[in-house]
Chains A and B, each alone.
Chain A
Amino acid sequence: MKRGLEGPSPEERPTPRGRRNKQGIRIDPEVEATYEPRRTVISALVEHEPGVLSDVSGLFSRRQFNIESLTVGPTEDEDLARITIVVEEPDPGIDQVEKQLRKLVPVISVRELEPDAMRRELALIKVNADRPAEVAAVADMYDGETVDSSPETATIEVTGARQKIEAAIDTFSQFGIREISRTGTTALARGTDQTAAPEAAQPADGANQETYTQTANDD
């Protein structure tokens, strides 16, 4: 039994030429283009009230944003907290992350940081201390500080960009790593450039001409 409506069947209908990619962007049928994911740091200034962190982390999980790390801590203003998030997403995704974050009522401002922003992470690395002198030498190499030692173990604190931490862990692994704890990245924009300000999210002119001590163009 044939039921339904009358009209030309699908094969008899004209079809347009163009199409869109997965991100809804119109593409030339010949040259198909999609955005590749990139890693970036997003900084959000939020009201320091109960529940914001779960609002933010919940937003990331339910929207399937690819989150790499999330850190939170108080700021110079005790009513405000700063959340630093490292994400890896194609560009339209990064844009969505920022827009969705901005929609949360306790979120004051959101900004993607410039690649030259200062990014730091802290790691505690607990290794076997069979060869204490060598451990100390490696710690030195990464400006690490031994914060605890026992006859069997040494725990070294290392701070720096993600790559540095990773390199340190790599090098320490020769002694046998017992445990690692890492904080995830926290970050601030350089110079007078404000990381996240209530009104102007625009970087100030000539912001990056200050001198600074440490460079970490990597993250």
Chain B
Amino acid sequence: MSERAAKVTPEEEQDDDQITDSAAPDAATESESTTDADAETTTEPVTSGAEAVVRALENAGVEYAFGVQGGAIMPVYDALYDSDIYHVTMAHEQGAAHAADAYGIVSGEPGVCLATSGPGATNLVTGIADADMDSDPMVALTGQVPTEFVGNDAFQETDTTGVTTPITKDNTFSSDSDRVGSDVSEAFALAREGRPGPTLVDLPKDVTKGETDREPDAPKVPDTYRVQERADPEIVDAAAERIETSNKPVMLLGGGVIKGEASEACREFAIEHEIPVITTMPGIGAFPEDHELSLEMAGMHGTGYANMAITHCDTLIGIGTRFDDRLTGGIETFAPDAEVIHVDIDPAEISKNIHADYPLVGDAETVVEQLADAVDASPEAKKWRAQCQQWKSDYSMAYEAPEDEPVQPEFVVEALDEATSDRAIVTTGVGQHQMWACQYWTYTEPRTWVSSHGLGAMGYGLPSAIGARLAADDDQEVVCIDGDGSFLMTLQGLSVAVRENLDITVAVLNNEYIGMVRQWQDAFFEGRHSASDYHWMPEFDKLAEAFGAAGFRIDDYDDVAETIEEAIAYDGPSVIDVHIDPDANVYPMVPSGGDNGQFALTEDQL
């Protein structure tokens, strides 16, 4: 039913095979470019820096690029004009960065965003910072004023590499037309190798306009960048022994499990040894939430049972997680009785926040396989598993939804889940709706949960749905569960969704509040609703129609199922303005810095 952007030209159809090939992880880009050259007699040698940039993108297998035109980036856009890469013109560069980020999450390959110098580049910053916090592979290309003006406060000049140094995995000011193509290739390799992240290449206009016949080198990381794939076998053995002898083990799967394609290995390991599994928020989808062993998400708004289990376990197997404070709560009370086995590809994550008793540096999939080989006997944890099941029923996520009350948001999330397939992709803004989307949607597959975790950037929902739509398979629905405040921040992206005829459904959980703030004000600021009451919200269904999208509205329970069905069935972008109970709050909740085991189930317990 879902139909992607109407973008396939006959020429592109021929290239389809090649595109799929090159999008595969670890594709040998070198051999591809040779195939390219053989298959496509039309491949002209590059003549300018800008053409070399575009050639580098093509060599890396780029299908889509998201961006906005502008003076300093014009030469690159001019070169894109002749390329098969499909450029999605966004309504704001923040949207371009979020779309590229989501594309990277769903496809596993770096998403590409482009912006001009100065304001274009600074508008990308939120999206780059988001990708950095969540280790999403992304390549940002920014125009820059000509080299001779750099440092003179020229028109639209910003020190982009300076601004983005703290929020990129690596960035480069490209200073040579002969090198610029290779700089972009290298940025690609760096974005996806090891711990993924955003890279940026700043492109002065004279460098992209400049003549060159140098084809870009194949994507390759610099020699100084070394990744350890396999963990130290001695520590693996020691960790295996710890697992075998533990009585209360849990696995904690983070976003690195999904990025490292380790979901399958983790599932097998957990199921074989019957170890209860918790995920972090970025780790959602790494383990099927409908499986008996799943305790779902832990942390500030994690389930009560996940937080009980993480607090009481004796062995914590953390994989691809950085132990963010929203997960751990107060360090002192985090898994206080547990010996910690920590698997991560980034050595700097080991013992950064939580001390690792068994540090296992390496690729998540490889190390889990090492562990699987080393563990001979399953832990004796029958009592523990029974305890976990007991907690599941004690602290069940059941909510009340009386017919006569305003619509409860949990009900809407469940209805959306029911109306879509298992592989549907959910994207969100940031706030209460994001937490309900975590809690009340049952995720079973990796790369189906797309959200702004570490940065928590409102406005992420719609642009990320655009990027996700283009990366997703045709039969995967894309649903954006947004908040009214978050949607308002980037809703100009609707124009893009309409132009590209992207089949996405946005459900705005409209409480006329920036609800998460209101919830905190109720709990910690004596109900003083300073600047959190958004009673001046537009009618989002009508707004959608003004953009050319389909608009729907839900006011009571009777409408929910039917309207959702209609909106999902609509072939193109649709927006449902869901008027929910404005006073609904998110529980359980661990106050920030609190003890995970002391989560509150009601406001009175805060």
Is B597 within 8 A of A102, CB to CB? no
Which B residues are in CB contact (< 8 Å) with A14? Answer: 312
Per the CB 8 Å criterion, the residue count for chain A at the interface is 41
Is B583 within 8 A of A3, CB to CB? yes
Is B161 within 8 A of A2, CB to CB? no
Give 1 or 0 for each of B389-406: 1 = CB within 8 Å of chain A CB. Answer: 000001111110000000
The docked-state distance in angstroms from the alpha carbon of A108 to that of B588 is 46
Given contacts A99-B348, A105-B222, contact A5 B332 (CB under 8 A): no
B601 proximal to A (CB < 8 A): yes
Which B residues are in CB contact (< 8 Å) with A62? Answer: 166
A36 to chain B, nearest CB (A): 17
Which A residues are in CB contact (< 8 Å) with B304? Answer: 5, 7
A202 proximal to B (CB < 8 A): no
B346 nearest in chain A by CB position: A103
CB neighbors of A among B198-244 (8 A): 222, 224-225
A90 proximal to B (CB < 8 A): no
The docked-state distance in angstroms from the alpha carbon of A26 to that of B314 is 12
Is B352 within 8 A of A55, CB to CB? no
The docked-state distance in angstroms from the alpha carbon of A19 to that of B330 is 10
Give 1 or 0 for each of A157-198: 1 = CB within 8 Å of chain B CB. Answer: 000000000000000000000000000000000000000000
Given contacts A24-B354, A105-B224, contact A19 B598 (CB under 8 A): no
Is B334 within 8 A of A20, CB to CB? yes
Which A residues are in CB contact (< 8 Å) with B353? Answer: 24
The docked-state distance in angstroms from the alpha carbon of A26 to that of B355 is 8
The docked-state distance in angstroms from the alpha carbon of A106 to that of B334 is 36
Given contacts A55-B165, A105-B224, A108-B224, contact A5 B348 (CB under 8 A): no
A3 to chain B, nearest CB (A): 6
The docked-state distance in angstroms from the alpha carbon of A171 to that of B332 is 48
B144 proximal to A (CB < 8 A): no
Is B331 within 8 A of A24, CB to CB? yes
Which A residues are in CB contact (< 8 Å) with B337? Answer: 16-18, 26
A178 to chain B, nearest CB (A): 35
A215 proximal to B (CB < 8 A): no
B110 to chain A, nearest CB (A): 16
The docked-state distance in angstroms from the alpha carbon of A13 to that of B312 is 11
B384 proximal to A (CB < 8 A): no
B139 to chain A, nearest CB (A): 15
Is B351 within 8 A of A24, CB to CB? yes
Given contacts A4-B605, A6-B396, A20-B336, contact A103 B348 (CB under 8 A): yes
Give 1 or 0 for each of B296-322: 1 = CB within 8 Å of chain A CB. Answer: 000000001000100110000000000
Is A10 within 8 A of B354, CB to CB? no
Which B residues are in CB contact (< 8 Å) with A92? Answer: 351, 355
CB-contact partner of A107 in B224, B332, B348, under 8 A: B224
B175 nearest in chain A by CB position: A50
The docked-state distance in angstroms from the alpha carbon of A40 to that of B173 is 33
B538 proximal to A (CB < 8 A): no
A96 nearest in chain B by CB position: B352
Give 1 or 0 for each of A91-119: 1 = CB within 8 Å of chain B CB. Answer: 01001100110110111100000000000
Per the CB 8 Å criterion, the residue count for chain B at the interface is 55
Secondary structure class of chain B's binding surface, majority of residues: loop
Give 1 or 0 for each of A128-162: 1 = CB within 8 Å of chain B CB. Answer: 00000000000000000000000000000000000
B366 proximal to A (CB < 8 A): no
Is A99 within 8 A of B395, CB to CB? no
Is A19 within 8 A of B351, CB to CB? no
CB neighbors of A among B331-356 (8 A): 331-334, 336-339, 346-348, 350-355
The docked-state distance in angstroms from the alpha carbon of A129 to that of B559 is 92
The docked-state distance in angstroms from the alpha carbon of A72 to that of B584 is 57
B170 proximal to A (CB < 8 A): yes
Given contacts A5-B395, A103-B348, A105-B222, contact A10 B355 (CB under 8 A): no
Which A residues are in CB contact (< 8 Å) with B595? Answer: 15
Which A residues are in CB contact (< 8 Å) with B222? Answer: 105
B586 nearest in chain A by CB position: A4
B535 to chain A, nearest CB (A): 21
Which B residues are in CB contact (< 8 Å) with A75? Answer: none
Which B residues are in CB contact (< 8 Å) with A5? Answer: 304, 395-399, 587-588, 601-602
CB neighbors of A among B162-179 (8 A): 162, 165-166, 169-170, 173
Give 1 or 0 for each of A8-47: 1 = CB within 8 Å of chain B CB. Answer: 1110011111111111111000000000000000000001
Which B residues are in CB contact (< 8 Å) with A108? Answer: 224
B308 nearest in chain A by CB position: A13
A74 proximal to B (CB < 8 A): no
A51 proximal to B (CB < 8 A): yes
The docked-state distance in angstroms from the alpha carbon of A25 to that of B323 is 13
B357 nearest in chain A by CB position: A26
Which residues of A pack against B, CB within 8 Å? 2-10, 13-26, 47, 50-51, 54-55, 58, 62, 92, 95-96, 99-100, 102-103, 105-108
Closest 5 pairs (CB-CB, A-B): A4-B602, A99-B348, A18-B336, A24-B354, A25-B355
30 contacts between A and B (CB under 8 A): A2-B604, A3-B583, A3-B587, A4-B600, A4-B601, A4-B605, A5-B304, A5-B395, A7-B395, A7-B396, A16-B311, A16-B312, A16-B597, A18-B337, A20-B333, A20-B334, A21-B332, A23-B355, A24-B331, A24-B354, A47-B224, A51-B161, A51-B165, A51-B173, A96-B348, A99-B348, A100-B348, A102-B348, A105-B222, A108-B224
